[in-house]
Amino acid sequence: MYYPAFEVPFVGGPTLIAVIAITHVFIAHFAVGAGLFNAIVETHALRRDRPLLRQFLHDYSRVIVLLPFILGAVTGVGIWFSIALVAPRATSLLIHNFVWAWAIEWVCFLVEIAAGYVYYYSWDRLSPRRHAAVGWIYAVAAWMSLFVINGIITFMLTPGDWSDRRAAGDYSGAFWTGLFNPTFLPSLLLRSVSCLALAGIFVCVVVNVVPRYSREERTTIIHTASHFLVPLVLMVPAAMWYLGQVPASARGLAFGGAAAMSLFFIFGLTCSVLLAVYAYVALVRKRGYVSLETSLLLAAMAFIATGSMEYVREGIRKPYVVRGYLWSNEIANQPAELARLNAEGVLAHAPWIAPADRRARADRLTRGRWMFDVQCAKCHTIDGLNGVAPLIAGWPRDLIRYNLDHLDKLKGFMPPVVGTPQEKDDLADWLFRLNPVHHEPTASPLASGVEGQRR
Amino acid sequence: MSAWIILAQAGAELVPPRDEFGLPGPLWFLHMLVPLTFALHAVFMNFALGAAFIVPVFWGVGRRREPALLDAARRLVRAWPIAVSFTITSGVAALLFVQVLYGHMFYTANILIGWRWLAILGYLLIGFYLIYALDRLIVRDRFGAGMGVIVLIALAFLLVGHEFNNNSVLMLMPELWRGIHDGELRRHAPHAMWNPRMFHSIIGAVAVTGVWVAVLARGWRPYADDARRIAVRYGLRTALVATVLQVVSGLWFYVSLDPDVQRSMFAFSDPRAVLWMLAVLGGFGLLFLFWRGSEAPDDARWVVASAGVTAFVLVGMSAGREVVRLRMLARYPGALFTSADVRVQSGPMLAFVVALAIGLAVVALMLYWMRTAPAASSTLGPSRD
């Protein structure tokens, strides 16, 4: 409303964020897990004197420098860029509440990158003990960055009493409760487990790609790596713990309230458990071998599982970006703001969509279209993806108008319509005219507004 | 009423409200962090961009008559991805604090630039991975193919700079927003400062990379003394030539600014402006240091002094950038946060300062370990395959 709209054709802004974010999470989780993997295995290799494992870690560290440090870093910036484009007010909210958390996370990131390069370039320079120490520095820094960022991500769904603390003027307290919110720990567990598993799966890929190892050596390395997949069984209890902490309405969406959401959720969990069982039975117990094709398949499963879980996490937050405070359409669920918008009108505060000079001479349909652009277009197109026209096909105008007063009840993942009664009337008129079959024959004068027409 | 005032009024309507949560730290602290993190970003970003100009020259001269330069070019290419990594890392810090103070202006400019802003990600990826491709080519001295790749890298990083330049200018000029939004103006922000600003950044990048060459050459081990001498000399000479040009482009940049902005650059009451003025003097000082250093490449002190003063100049120039920003945004009531918006989160802020101290100490420790370690067996780091 306060910002110009960034339009992503066909799929919409949230999908753009999702594509970038899921790629990033997948790689970033791998980076954290690989850090832990390298630190643990290098220490183990030193104690037991196993040069094969050290050699492999050397090869593996190159993957870290090439994947997380490039694609991971760029997609990380990509998340910043895309959320600012699609949801600037939400981004601003997060920045102005949590910039110190992000700054701490940045320090972790800095140490992680520095340690990663030192680690990679010092295999033949530092003493093995020091080298392992650098590995641990990398691992701790990388995991700490996950620790911090996990707080901000979970905040959006379960902000705790952040808002009350702020209202009471306790800004530091609000920060800490917001960060260490009810879903912080279960989510940290879920993510840590996923990190370890991804590291293990990537080992299977890398060991098959680097030509230097014999079949037997590969089996040994894969056997070591397979232990990192077993914790995936914790996904189920951790997910239950997580769901136990989210608000009932959000839980409802994951369990049946929205079919797609439930499917993704079950799918993600099943994938994880299957991977764990496979790793334990076939790799840990039977010391089996994983070919390149199989390990790529495992990686693909892990990617889909990661994507599903991220999708569910995003999905069950609707209609909020920050639960209880900010809706997806960037209007805040705050009495003062709502009172102002309901009295003065939404369009009076949407200068990009409804410029002051054009507002005065706009007709009803134009104003209705503007209302749609301000409040609905973040989630709906007109007749494309989640298009509103087919959704209301056949609805009489009165029903449309009635539902505009009860939109948040109609479907749990929509915010209520804000604005003056006149503005809601205009929106109802415009919506009604989207499906031409239902036009009353006498209503033609209204159709003249050019901006009111479909694009 | 002048045309400008009418324009500015049209823009004022579009300036989004400042964030209702206010500033989580004292104004002075945030106003300090913005230029400091930007200067840090510039240290690496200049290498990332400048190497695209210096590597081909060193490579070309190196393969014809000065083998030491070919070697230096290879070492630069080996260090290049690390520079890009730290450019991104430090850029994130700069991005954080810019959003705190100017987020509402910044986001609006992002959105107006839109897909071209997002394309930065693609340019970065292309440039980044191409550097690794270049590494393979330069190790085998495949000059023709290497030049082709360098041109692509330069193009990718220049496009990144181009969009950042767009964004930086656009976020200060709400009077252009409506026109750009409605497609009546080109997205390329039409302000007189656009071109000199871009040139100033590119030439500065070459100068700073020249200093980087000298600094890195002092640290390369094992490294023959005469090779080191040649690398230091060429590095500082490059910096010298670029800095002479930089004085010209700086002057051009200055005259392109609006008169009121120009005046605020010389306001002795503003510590930022004072820092900037000192940085201008420092820039002239650098001409001397680069010249002396390239004449006496064995003397490490000139390199150290050059690097130190260059770092200071970067900080001062970043402070000057803030002066311009603040002056231009002050034209729009409500665009800037004030002390009334401050809601300090003291605990979290302290936690950040402590984390930063620990983090820097850990990085320093690791660098110390690297420095005191025996030199690697291979001069070009670990094997490539």
Per-run averaged pLDDT (10 residues), chain B, 385 residues: 51 91 96 96 97 96 92 95 95 96 96 94 95 95 95 97 93 91 72 91 97 94 90 96 96 94 95 97 97 94 97 97 95 93 96 97 96 64 39
Contacts of A176 in chain B (CB under 8 A): 347-348
Query: In this predicted structure, what is the pLDDT of residue B1?
Result: 37
Question: How many A-B residue pairs are in contact by the CB < 8 A criterion?
Answer: 207
Query: In this predicted structure, what is the pLDDT of residue A171?
Result: 96
Query: In this predicted structure, what is the pLDDT of residue A170?
Result: 95
The 10 Å Cβ neighbour count of residue A75 is 24
A78 to chain B, any CB pair closer than 8 A? The answer is: yes
Query: In this predicted structure, what is the pLDDT of residue B319?
Result: 97
Query: In this predicted structure, what is the pLDDT of residue B163?
Result: 94
Query: In this predicted structure, what is the pLDDT of residue A15?
Result: 86
**Which B-chain residues 17-76 have CB contacts (< 8 A) with chain A?**
17, 19-25
User: What's the CA gap between B92 and A72, in Å, rounded?
Assistant: 13
**Candidate from A81, A355, A356 with C-beta closest to B118:** A81
CATH topology of domain A13-327: Formate dehydrogenase/DMSO reductase fold (1.20.1630)
3-state secondary structure of B184: coil
Query: In this predicted structure, what is the pLDDT of residue B75?
Result: 95
Nearest CA in chain A to B358: A107
Query: In this predicted structure, what is the pLDDT of residue B382?
Result: 41
The residue ranges of chain A whose pLDDT is under 70 are: 256-257, 437-455
CB neighbour class for A291 (10 Å; exposed up to 12, middle 13-18, buried from 19): exposed
A435 to chain B, any CB pair closer than 8 A? The answer is: no
3-state secondary structure of B171: coil
User: What's the CA gap between B208 and B314, in Å, rounded?
Assistant: 9
Largest Cα–Cα distance in chain B? 73
Query: In this predicted structure, what is the pLDDT of residue A319?
Result: 87
Tell if the CB–CB gap between B359 and A110 is shorter than 8 Å.
yes
**Start-end ranges of CATH 1.20.1630 in chain A?**
13-327
B363 to chain A, any CB pair closer than 8 A? The answer is: yes
Cβ–Cβ under 8 Å, residues B37 and B94: yes
Angle between helices A215-226 and A51-66 (to 10 degrees): 70
Query: In this predicted structure, what is the pLDDT of residue B8?
Result: 54
CA dihedral A208, A212, A216, A217 (to 10 degrees): -90
Tell if the CB–CB gap between A110 and B346 is shorter than 8 Å.
no
